[in-house]
Structure 1
């Protein structure tokens, strides 16, 4: 028989699901509920959190500012790898979950709580991301996942429960989809977006203007990199969180970073998601440009061959797994000379590289020039080509002999 839960720490957003969960936990388990909200860039969404959680029954409310840690220790490591899932998704939600879970577990230990809880559904990826992180930190923790236990299996049932218990929630008619926001992105799923033929409504977007409505004049931007991380915009040094926020602002006003994706969830089903990632889109383009002149070819190709697997690890929730940490060590080793300046043009949804320079550049005009040079003898290419074509020539000769 499982031991009684006296205290549970809930990852709390203040939305419909976690508001209902807070009350449900207190009633179902007759326990103290501690609400925890991580400030990772949700903005004004956090304003009513403390009051709302206490009114719903939370005994203690934590609202921790984790923005700098999120960008420095989770976003930047992934972007040093140019991580992208299925060619389009820049992992905004995936990168936030292990940080939230880590802090949630710290609070559980501080408060001597026996359990932690989250609002992820039994169909999604987040349940896996949260719980793999919990168990990697403390295998003895008890996890309560209400969506896998209760009979409130619809938005209508949740709204009825909220009304019965006097829980104030925003009407889902105003937002017929679910959202998740942090400094890296905003995601939109469910509701009217479940039909992949339906275009997302224009009034849904928060971070970006439509490319059609973006300024008619291009904006030029310089980003400075040190060891693979961005450190300055237009010569102004900024902290990780402030830098990403500025990229979001400037990218958003130029209509950059929208993505409409049908992705493969870890649990096996396909899901349609719409994302706004303006700063991340700019950062990835700039970082790849910086690498193009500072990374050795074979090192780059080897690293690139591992990126789909690395991105999949993050997407599936294995941030704290040894294989992800091993790959991160290798990736970070490749970034030691990825330093310099990249110039970009932002214009109506497009981010175009205009130039790149570095004290560690491996690019040489003397080697690449079409003019006369003394470092490359063009006749040497003949032997190079004949050696590389040897197996092709032998294959064709054998075919002819067998004909």
Structure 2
């Protein structure tokens, strides 16, 4: 691959997700309190596989659109941007791409030292150098968003993820390229040991021989790794663009608000841009256009119904408990979706209401008792 390459549809869809998520993330962390006048402490965004800053046909790369949308954010006047408070770190390993990224940023934004935020463009390796740069800039003790968007190779040690997970109000996004699961046999087992925390954690996934199941098993294995890294919440999802191959992402955060913000970004992209986000736990709703079809009919999505059924196989739960499980454990579903799903399932007889009276958020729900023959 040369210095520049074509923008793949899945990457374009992922960029739209990042843009919408960051549009919410920056003001949450940076807006000054109108009541107290208190400005939050500094915030660091780390793009550890930054790329050359531009694609072959001129589309902006992540460092360019991240910086541009921050500087032109609708709430920028309330964010109190200063180079001490806001750090953007872009790491690129390839010498030519690193040089192109620097040139691209300077041509778009002028002298980086004159910007109201600190921009660091480093040539280095994500797994080896991320912690060192965060140390150097004094990022620890303040919110960090680490984007580990390697496309072809997931090779960031779990120690890096663990350090970020233990840091206050911090999150990570890791991307698996469309061919990663089929090319896994070419990766160094010692590298996988560092990524997943030991050979015993990833060899069961490597033993999966069914092609259609490999991505699910590996994605779940990596989500489990982020759980061991001590992220309180982890999302795993498949991003399917209008055309082209899908992309796979795992998101780790310690905050329910972070979950809600990421899922809200998914819904905005899904509703308006034609992308689709699927939960790896389900198999019955894997086709494009499903969201529009079910919404137009006023029905709950089949993926949602399947997930609620999976939750109830563990045991009865109230609608509130189902909603909390949807938030914490599923790729895109929110607590507000629980009541609609249970109502539809109750009408069809696929769940049983165990609380008398009208269906409410406090109603206890279970799967029907098996019919004895």
Q: TM-score, normalised by structure 2?
A: 0.27
More strand by percentage? 1
Point out the structure with max Rg over C-alpha. 1
Q: TM-score, normalised by structure 1?
A: 0.25
Bigger relative CO (Cα 8 Å, ≥ 6 apart): 1
